[in-house]
Amino acid sequence: MLLVADIGNTNITFAIYENEEITATYRLTTWFKRTGDEYGFMITHFLNSADVRKEDVEDVIVASVVPKIMHSFINSIRRYIGKEPIIVSKDLNLGIKIDYDNPQEVGADRIVDAIGAYYHYGGDLLVIDFGTATTFEYISSDGTYHGGSIMPGLEISSEALTSKTAKLPEIAIKPIDTLVNKDTISAMQAGLFLGYIGSVEYLIKRFKEEIQKDLKVIATGGLGRIISENTDSIDIYDAKLTFKGLKKIYDLNR
């Protein structure tokens, strides 16, 4: 069995692969002050709840965009799982070419998403990850990652709206169809949600014009589903895309 972990700014997500199938997943809030023992306890609990013995975990692969927690996290894998984790970096065989001015700047999450999408959906793709930040990545048909764009995530936008205004309340992110609203919360929800979809649709349109190709658009990330369900500009929503990318990287380097 393979344990894969994606460490993001908001959440750490885990999956267990048995051969080519994901048999269990787990989501944990990212918190800088957790100790290795705390991570170890939580990972062990996840394995136990999935009826997996730590002895059955053959390897662990990790992608991270949060350097501050890596020391504790890696030590937890070593101590509680007894494995030396594979850390995603440009030094591994990634199976795609990186066309970027400084490849060290590219977040591991962006690369993993690109690999997962390319090996499952082919080339000429636009991959959008709706996470803490929303990232747009272009991967051409020859397996080259060309970079893309980054915009604030939907939750960041919501937090900015309420934290920078004295009288606007915190709101839940939810689909709303009308722009003419007669209460403040609905007005905020409409502006936030429909405005965000409008931004995403415009960027997709501009990507296709700039690249001059009819790109297949793949979405992933925690808020990707709700966005995908409310626009025709996204072709596929794949909640497991990052896990698929991690599994592919592992297979290429095993």
**DSSP per-residue string spanning 177-225:** --S--SSHHHHHHHHHHHHHHHHHHHHHHHHHHHHTS--EEEEESTTHH
Nearest to 233 by CA among 189, 203, 192: 203
Which single residue is written with the structure tokens 């929303």? 134
Assign residue 6 a region (left: φ > 0; alpha: ψ between -120 and 50; beta: otherwise).
Answer: beta
Which member of 6, 59, 109, 232 is catalytic? 109
Residue 109 annotated as catalytic: yes
CB contact set of 141 (below 8 Å; sequence gap of 6+) = 122, 123, 124
Nearest to 136 by CA among 152, 155, 160: 152
Which single residue is written with the structure tokens 């030094």? 91
- Mind telling me the catalytic residues? 109
